Amino acid sequence: MTAARAFVLPDLGEGLTEAEIVRWLVAEGDVIEVDQPVVEVETAKAMVEVPSPYAGRVATRHAAEGTTLDVGAPLITVAAVESAAGSATEAYREEERAGSGNVLIGYGTTPGSGGAARHRRPRDRRPAAGPPQIPAPRTPPPPVAPAVVAPRVVSPLVRRLARDSGVDLSTLRGTGPGGVITRRDVESATTPVTPTAPAAPTGERRIPLTGFRKTVSAVLTRSRAEIPEATVWVDVDATALWELRERTRHDPSAPGLLAYVARFVVAGLRAYPMLNARVDTERQEIVELDQINLGLAVQTDRGLVVPAVTGAQNLTTTALDAAIRDVTARARRNESTPAELTAGTFTLNNYGAFRVDGSAAIINHPQVAMLGLGRIMDRPWAVGGALTVRKITQLSFVFDHRVCDGGAAAGFMRVVADAMEDPAAAVANL
């Protein structure tokens, strides 16, 4: 191993050309091993940990947290230490020359058991026989300072918001589970108190569009610029669906309401495949897709993301329920993979989770349609000529007018709505 090696920001795949340094996992002077994560970065599609292909001592960190780096820019410089580190690095270089195909995570493994070599201090050698030595008096150790409890911050984005806003996290009391400091805690600390008398303007705070938010902005702007979208609504009597869910609520393995709606959406897309498609503007073609990758809009502390359940057309209602719970839970923990966040062919958006009835949403480009589900609430409803109270929800559907007209959009809506109004018959016929 040479005296020092520079490790650059690697090719992150998925066409990504830059990433933002969110959190360093090592400090200058730390001794690291091959494949040890050294930094957490945020790309336009996901948050990932970057492992080092070199073992040794971290000589230099080339960028501060919050800095955006291009692929190929230096991340750290690693200096040589013991020979064991050199052999581990050479093992990585051999794997790299052999073409392992690893781009970002898991650059290589050390031979043998896979564990890093242990560095042992040499045993003290006894001095040669001679006159007895009088030991020097021992200096008492300095007093130990009391431990400082670090503020509980789970999200690196909350940490960055605090840094950008000049908020000292150690002064905050977290309102999240277990005392975790949340985005709202930081924002509350930066909100000026309304004075009792007129005061001068308090200024402004600028938050740069970087990483994920910059990509979201580009996608939504492109959607509005390219897609001639139209929106339709329908009110649905979901009483039977609600009662079906209530009868099985005691069973933790029973599907939830969203899983049933997802199953009905899949049935609608089978009947109207032009809505599970994309538009090839260069060749002026509508490309219908055989596989239904059902995207689910999920609100996270990074913003709105849309991970997808792939191959939804092959899943039962119970399997759909498990897949939906899995992808949404990992999305909220910022653990979605770039592939999951870009695989969707159609989006289901549960607006009801935010206690709203509907929305004229923006289509998630390059998809061509999105179905929104509003809150389910008690409303007066006419049944058989008599007025009664029913569980009513609103479906709102936005679609690309290039791929179909209103008749097809209405037909798709009725497939979903009719199934929600008579779920037992719908499930039996799927």
Q: Which residues are catalytic?
A: 401
| Helix/strand/coil for 314 | helix
Check if the beta carbon of residue 75 is closer than 8 Å to that of residue 9.
yes
Terminal Cα distance for the chain, rounded? 63
Nearest 5 degrees, angle CA 279-CA 412-CA 338? 50
Question: What are the Cα distances from residue 15, in Å, to 11, 18, 127, 338?
Answer: 9, 10, 63, 11
Interatomic CA distance for residues 254 and 427, integer angstroms: 14
Check if the beta carbon of residue 400 is closer than 8 Å to that of residue 368.
yes
Would you say the C-alpha torsion 98, 100, 101, 106 has a positive or negative sign?
negative
Of 107, 96, 118, the residue nearest 38 (C-alpha): 107
Check if the beta carbon of residue 230 is closer than 8 Å to that of residue 381.
no
Nearest 5 degrees, angle CA 250-CA 253-CA 256? 80
Interatomic CA distance for residues 393 and 410, integer angstroms: 17
Strands (E) located in 254-384? 277-280, 285-288, 294-296, 298-300, 303-305, 308-309, 346-350, 369-373, 377-383
Reading the block at residue 336, the tokens are: 């979605």
